[in-house]
A and B are shown apart, each in its own frame.
Chain A
Amino acid sequence: MAEETKPAAPANFKVTIDNITIEVAPGTTILNAARKIGGDVTPPAMCYYSKLQGSGGKCRTCLVEVSKGSEKDPRPMPKLVASCRTTVMDGMEVKNITSDKVTDARNGVVEFLLINHPLDCPICDQAGECHLQDLGYEHGKEGTRFEFKRREFEKEDIGSYIQLHMTRCILCYRCTYVADQLTDKRVHGILDRGDHAEISTYISKAIENDFSGNMIDVCPVGALTDKTFRFKNRVWFTKPVYAHRNCENPDCCGKATLWLRGDEVFRVTVRKDEWGEVQSYDGKAGWICNTCRFDKKQTSDWQIEGLANINRHSVIAQGKYPGLVVPKETIKEVMDGRAPKLIMDIHEVSGVNDPTLDLSKINGPAHSNNFAPNPNVEDHLRS
């Protein structure tokens, strides 16, 4: 992976996220530090994409609370900050899921995002791979308080490979960064502003550039889909395998995921890492060219390496994942050796876990009277 081939930067900033402390290199963002810890400590990200320069900061789903700025300046930050664009300081303390403010703000963001994104997952091609679906599931509420007409768009043809369904766009700007950074003769971008803003091409031009297909992969929702695949299958019915080919395009990494049904290649995409981003290889970001993506639809075009690595919680993994990881006995093992997260310290609440108390010496069943109440909690109850 790209990061491993580079000389390791000095990891000397300590940051604590939801009570888990980790050391990271200066310049690391809170989000990337949290990704190193992994699990639900990691804020969701709809607009940030580590392989696209300048991305992030827009959707506000990754907001976190900085309860301590740094060792030098321990003051908390006055507002929630976008973790994808805020770098850590030494001694910083961050609250993600342990902050009510964050949960509240994130619920708000989900509600805002769903105002102009129809929940038509059953008929959307992105279902099963949609980050907004996951976000809504984790942070949304059933029902909506929005009682007005939502925005709708005329269908617009933006070329032979990509279908734009503007109604579903959440304006994350990722595809515009792809257009900017990966393709020459850019014709695509954002028009208008506010909630009228829309993705479009410059005066109805077609998007035909060699690397334009990568826009499909970065789109977190079903706004940009693959015309050669749409509605041919649901992703969870296909079998994802890693494959590669000798692509003559020097900017194409030639490593892809094929989505198979039997021997038929239904779709070709980039390989994705655990954050749903393109997987980096050999110092290359891992993008693929349109030829690999749209034209190489025979298994004979590819050398197949084996089953793709799909998160076992994903719907795509349902029913066909090999060697399912059965949870191990101890939490430490399941959590890759790291200490379990402290959500609430029981000692703060009562002496029930007091190691100096020997339960076997208590006559009969233990009762709350046997334990000294925590004075802080008493205060709290009285106030």
Chain B
Amino acid sequence: MARKLLLEKAHVENIRLYDVYRREGGYRSVEKALKTLSPDAVTEEVKKSGLRGRGGAGFPTGMKWSFLAKPEGVPRYLVVNADESEPGTFKDRYLMEFIPHLLIEGMIVSAFALGSNVSYIYIRGEYAWIPDILEQAIAEAKQNGWLGKNILGSGFDCEIYVQRGAGAYICGEETALIESLEGKRGNPRIKPPFPAVKGLWDCPTVVNNVETIAAVVPIINDGGEEYAKIGVGKSTGTKLISACGNLNKPGVYEIDMTISVEEFIYSDEYCGGIPNGKKLKACIPGGSSVPILPANLLLKTTKGESRMMNYESLSDGGFATGSMMGSGGFIVFDEDQCVVRHTLSLARFYHHESCGQCSPCREGTGWMEKILKNIEYGKGKMSDIDLLWDIQRKIEGNTICPLGDAAAWPVAAAIRHFRDEFEWHVLNPDESQRRNYGLMHYADPIHVPVTA
């Protein structure tokens, strides 16, 4: 049984309530940090832990914190990114819903390290019921002296506010999030300047994912070195994986990053295999924006070793043979699934979500969707496949924010690994229109189990 750090107590009855959370050892990290550590020492522990940002890009959190500009007399902000709009990713939701105090506790310690007296949780609008849970937790924390002025007599002041987004994927991109938080249209900013220098209201700002900030709690409780012992290589600690698609047990799992992909899909401890004994066809291992991998590349690396559920192994060999850990949205496809259809579905999403500032993303995403639609519905031409390839190539790397890449990579990977399927659609237009698809098993918002 793998070690759990974040969801260990998620099943304790009424853990949502402050008294229960505190009884179970909650807020110890705040005591430890504020009473025994300096802000820099907290950052140092986070550096030692090797924690990498859990929002997708996997940038080392301690290093990110140390980039924060600290000019005299200018406020700094910690912003928690709870926008979680990447299709396939639904891990932060469980953390906030089941154990909200863990996030609040992590935020207080992180804000202390960063010298931020006001922090925000920016949460996606569709998570309509969660802000109330968070606000209750914030109120309880405040009543019990963990928030407000001069916390624990340390001289540190801290307030946390919850801000609801209106439900735009682009508002998860950190600079668009900041714009939206400022009350503006959620357009990404052009970098540099980076938020660490000019972020919210032009002040130095750190934007971190929910899971990242929650992980600060065990890091401070047990020490960065202890945390770094879990996992492997540069994939330290535990990672939440939201697994969905054709799986017997879709859900949110906390893993340490030493298990293999095969174990994760097939073992009873995790996803319990594929329904009806169907064969594994492919998987998007890190949320919809990362490249899809066919089964053979998913289970083994190019060296013939088992592919592991960690940052390095999942990206082994670059995009030709690998993918990315991304945000941990693990989407599994069985043999009945149509790659063209799913690629179309993703293309439709990215087209719909493009903010429209830069020409390649604004125009290219819509164009890709239209071509994919033609191919999927038996109206495609062979030359369309090469055209698609060329369009994604001209979007990738040429846009303001990574949404352009996020739109391009799924298309590129689908053609790279499943070109024959695209060709089949072109060559068999009638059949491709009449096909009966295998159903995807989507995670049910209420009934998906969080692993005990």
Contacts and interface: CB of A to CB of B under 8 A. Distances in A.
Interface of A: 56-61, 63, 79-80, 82, 85, 104-105, 108-109, 111-113, 115-116, 145-146, 148, 170-171, 173, 190, 192-197
A265 B265 CA distance: 76
Contacts of A104: 394
B359 A146 contact: no
Contacts of A145: 387
Contacts of B352: 194
Contacts of A108: 360, 394, 398
Interface string B357-389: 111101111110010000000000000000100
B406 interface: no
- Sorted nearest first, the 5 A-B pairs with minimum C-beta distance are A108-B394, A57-B190, A112-B363, A197-B356, A194-B354
Contacts of B366: 194-195
B364 A112 contact: yes
9 contacts: A80-B397, A104-B394, A108-B360, A108-B398, A109-B360, A112-B359, A112-B367, A192-B356, A197-B356
Contacts of A194: 351-356, 362, 365-366
A145 to B, nearest CB: 6
A171 B187 CA distance: 13
A196 B370 contact: no
B357 A115 contact: no
A118 to B, nearest CB: 14
Nearest to A111: B394
Given A112-B367, A193-B353, A194-B355, 9 more contacts: A56-B190, A57-B400, A60-B399, A82-B190, A82-B400, A112-B360, A112-B394, A145-B387, A190-B185
B168 interface: yes
Contact of B367 (A56, A59, A146): A146
Contact of A171 (B360, B362, B364, B397): B362
A170 B359 contact: yes
B363 A116 contact: yes
Most buried by B among A105, A115, A146, A194: A194
B356 A60 contact: no
Interface string B389-402: 00000100111100
Contacts, number: 85
Contact of A58 (B358, B364, B365, B387): B358
Chain A interface mostly helix, strand, loop or mixed?
A: loop
Nearest to A149: B370
A85 B189 CA distance: 11
A46 B358 CA distance: 11
Contact of A60 (B168, B351, B398): B398
A85 B363 contact: no
Contacts of A195: 351, 354, 356, 362-363, 365-366
A171 to B, nearest CB: 6
B398 A115 contact: no
A197 B362 contact: yes
Contacts of A171: 356-357, 359, 362
B360 A60 contact: yes
Given A113-B359, A145-B387, A193-B168, A80 B398 contact: yes
A313 B354 CA distance: 38
A295 B357 CA distance: 35
A85 B190 contact: yes
Contact of B357 (A58, A63, A80, A109): A58
B358 A79 contact: no
Contacts of A190: 185, 356
A378 to B, nearest CB: 31
A196 B398 contact: no
Contacts of B359: 58-61, 109, 112-113, 170-171
A344 to B, nearest CB: 26
A194 B359 CA distance: 9
Given A82-B190, A194-B362, A194-B365, A63 B398 contact: yes
A107 B39 CA distance: 50
B363 A115 contact: yes
Most buried by B among A116, A173, A193: A193
A170 B359 CA distance: 8
Contacts of B367: 112, 115, 146, 148
Contacts of B387: 145
A291 B366 CA distance: 42
Contacts of A113: 359, 363
Contacts of A173: 357
A101 to B, nearest CB: 9
Contacts of B168: 193
Contacts of B363: 112-113, 115-116, 195
Nearest to B350: A194
B398 A105 contact: yes
A135 to B, nearest CB: 11
Contacts of A111: 394
A335 B357 CA distance: 37
A196 B356 CA distance: 8
B358 A59 contact: yes
B371 to A, nearest CB: 8
Given A112-B394, A194-B354, A195-B354, A58 B400 contact: yes
Contacts of A59: 358-359
Contacts of B185: 190
Contacts of B351: 194-195
Nearest to B185: A190
Interface in B301-351: 351
